[in-house]
Amino acid sequence: MISVNLLPEEYRRRAKSPIGMIAAISAAVLLNTSLFAYWGYLHFGVKANVETTRDVLQADLSGLKWQVDYHNSLKAEISTRSQREQTLAEITKNRVLWTKTLDEMIDVVHAGREGVDHFIWFNNLDAEVKSDRNSFGKLSADSVSGAEAYAQLANFAEDLEDPSLSSLMGMFEAPEPLQATQEQPDETLIPSVTWSFPLRMNLLSPQDRLKNREAAQGEDQ
């Protein structure tokens, strides 16, 4: 059915907007306004603060980077130096002071026994250092004795082992038994009687040599 309002316009009921729609529109506007304000806060506030903090940290990182590089270079130098010191320690442990060894052998030769010179000389000397498990090196020589008595050779062998005369036994094992051969006497030569014999002394292991050397240094102190 169609209804027609015939009242004058001033008496007619004016149409009103629904309250629910107005509330919904207001809420939507308020929400959008809040979101826009929050976006503005994030964009202009938080983002600017983050960028400022990033710039500060980047500046600090740039200042620390050269220190880190310097620290790493120092670590590399320390590692290189440690390897060098280890190598030098190995060399020191394995080294043989041949000059000192020969000086001590000469002292033993000239010391003699009971006022009698050993009267020994060496035609050649051969020094050898090895890192073999069964052999660590040796000192060998083709030797000649001008002593008339064969017993003088035994005295010389005993003197080589005498710690009061030298420290040779801190470096070498006891010499192998001396086996001498008498040369044909020649009255035109001095001495007229000579004995030829090979001298051979085997080196101790590097550990034993180091231990003996440290023990000798401890006694000297």
Q: What is the DSSP string of 22-58?
A: HHHHHHHHHHHHHHHHHHHIIIIIIHHHHHHHHHHHH
- Domain residue ranges in the chain: 20-94, 98-220
Task: Please tell me the distance from the alpha carbon of residue 100 to that of residue 59, in angstroms, as a whole number.
Answer: 63
Task: Please tell me the distance from the alpha carbon of residue 12 to that of residue 15, in angstroms, as a whole number.
Answer: 9
Place of tokens 């090196």: 137
Work out the average pLDDT over 38-59: 76
**Percent of the chain with pLDDT strictly greater than 90:** 1
Q: In what order do the strands lie in the sheet with 137-145?
A: 120-129, 137-145, 195-202, 181-182
Work out the average pLDDT over 85-99: 78
pTM above 0.85, yes or no: no
Choose between 122 and 187: higher pLDDT: 122
Task: Please tell me the distance from the alpha carbon of residue 6 to that of residue 63, in angstroms, as a whole number.
Answer: 89
pLDDT at 137 over 60: yes
Residue 207, SS3 per DSSP: helix
| Encoded tokens for 213 | 């050397």
Q: Report the candidate in 202, 210, 209 with the shortest Cα–Cα distance to residue 137.
A: 202
Instruction: Quickly state the pLDDT bin for 127 (edges 50, 70, 90).
Output: confident
What's the whole-number average pLDDT of the chain? 80
* DSSP 8-state symbol, 187: T
Best CATH choice for the domain 98-220 from the list 3.30.70, 2.60.120, 3.30.1600, 3.40.50? 3.30.70
Q: Which helix (H) or strand (E) is 97 found in, with range?
A: none
